[in-house]
Chain A
Amino acid sequence: MRISFYLNGKQTHVDVPPGRKFVDVLREDLGLTGTKECCGAGECGACTILVDGQARLSCLMAAAQLQGRRVTTIEGLAADGSLHPVQEAFIEYGAVQCGFCTPGVVLAAVHLLDRNPDPTREQIREGLSGNLCRCSGYVKIVDAVEAAATKMRGGTPQ
């Protein structure tokens, strides 16, 4: 079945079984391996993408559900070559270790800041509580999101 949706700002069509797991569509049919899969049960958040701006689990969506939707994957976050402030902060604050959780966490953080541009550290933790990280202990991830939020509000991070 032909499914049409907006992928990272571009009109995209794929011809796939309508029930195909969407993360497989992204990784295998579209070659976008930035989105990861790691638990198959919605318990880790590594497969997080944005659908109409909202963070969702691409391992728990059938391809047909994306018809007409606006999808953003990690590959689409950097606008015309320059990184999103969340991505920059992740680099600067050491929030990337093995990096496998990173695409999912970054997108979840983007959605979080979209809803709450001035979150407390506890709110950041809550907002990212669906994204498991086995390497970092989350501290630097919270640092990075806090700094990105400050920057996006036009301030200077500490």
Chain B
Amino acid sequence: MREVILPGSLDELWRSFEGKPQAAVYAGGTDLLVGLYNGLLNPEALICLDRIEELQGVGEQGESIRIGSCTTHAQLLDDPLVKSHLPVLWQAIRGIGSPLVRNMGTIGGNICTASPAGDTLPPLYALRAEVELRSKEGVRRMAIEDFIAGPGATRLQRAEILTCVWVKKPGEYNLHHFEKVGLRNALACSVVSMAALLRLALNGVVEKAALAWGSAGPTIVTCPEAEKKLIGEPLSMALLQEAAALVRKAVSPISDVRADADYRRIVAGNLLLRLCKVLK
């Protein structure tokens, strides 16, 4: 019989790990339990994190926002700090799964599953988020792009969990945009997605840009060349087309049941053009 442990604190969690190094850790279960109940995984034990209060909630610390890893997507959508300071993340979370999935799934789960199609990831990359990892031995922090090693792979060690995500308030940007392309309007795995943060001067010149694409490569794709192309020029369709061409060179999408690589490549570039509309 498989054990299911629900520790009520981090101390209890470290004790739960003892002797069970192969235990599968989850909070919402919207990814893990699908695999488990369909016979694709068979861990010796399950550890559910959703009772550990210190892993939940959103707070401010100076110029940074701290998001507990076990905060559900639904909670994040309701959170005033996320809504006002991190609109690019908020827009992305709106499109995750369905209301039911959002009631259960967590940002920590989305990050640790590390699917190239994980919708929180492009915004977190564009926001230069950092993850905080904890184990019995101590704490470490790293940039999210270092934490995610490959499709479905992270640098999480055994008996270690993601405790929170740190995001510096992106006050220097005045355009926060996320778009997800799916095969239907809900319960859709992203076919390609883009997060964009821009600072536009009053005269329309791009002063700063942070861009990231999902479902366009083994991990989230950033394109510093495209960002450089935009910076210093007034935003226009022509400029965005040039940047889009660079993006199409930078992405390395695959073909799968949802879409062909070519489609993803073309659309990854096209999504940049949408910024023209957002300007109006």
Bind each other: yes
User: Could you tell me which A residues sit within 8 Å of B by CB distance?
Assistant: 17-19, 21, 40-43, 45, 48, 54-57, 59-65, 67, 108, 112, 126-132
Cα distance A57–B103 in the bound complex, in angstroms: 9
| Set of chain A residues within 8 Å of B185, measured between Cβ atoms | 129
Classify chain B's interface size: 20 to 34
Measured between beta carbons, the chain A residues less than 8 angstroms from B97 are 42, 130
A67 → B minimal CB distance (Å): 7
A127 vs B28: C-alpha distance when bound (angstroms): 19
**A-B interface contact total, Cβ < 8 Å:** 87
B104 x A57 contact (CB < 8 A) = yes
Interface string of B1-40 (1 = CB under 8 A from A): 1111010000000000000000000001110011011100
A106 vs B5: C-alpha distance when bound (angstroms) = 32
A54 to chain B, nearest CB (A): 5
Given A42-B34, A61-B33, A55 contacting B101 (CB threshold 8 A)? no
Bitwise, B52-93 to A at CB < 8 A (1) or not (0) is 000000000000000000000010000000000000000000
Residues of the B chain whose Cβ atoms lie less than 8 Å from the Cβ of A41: 34, 38
Partner of A17, one of B1, B29, B30, B50: B1
- The listed residue with most A CB atoms (<10 A of its CB), out of B37, B50, B99, is B99
Q: Are A42 and B4 in contact (CB under 8 A)?
A: no
Which of B6, B37, B186 is close to A130, meaning CB atoms less than 8 Å apart?
A: B186
A48 and B98 alpha carbons, distance in the complex (Å): 12
Q: Which residue of B lies closest to A129 (CB)?
A: B186
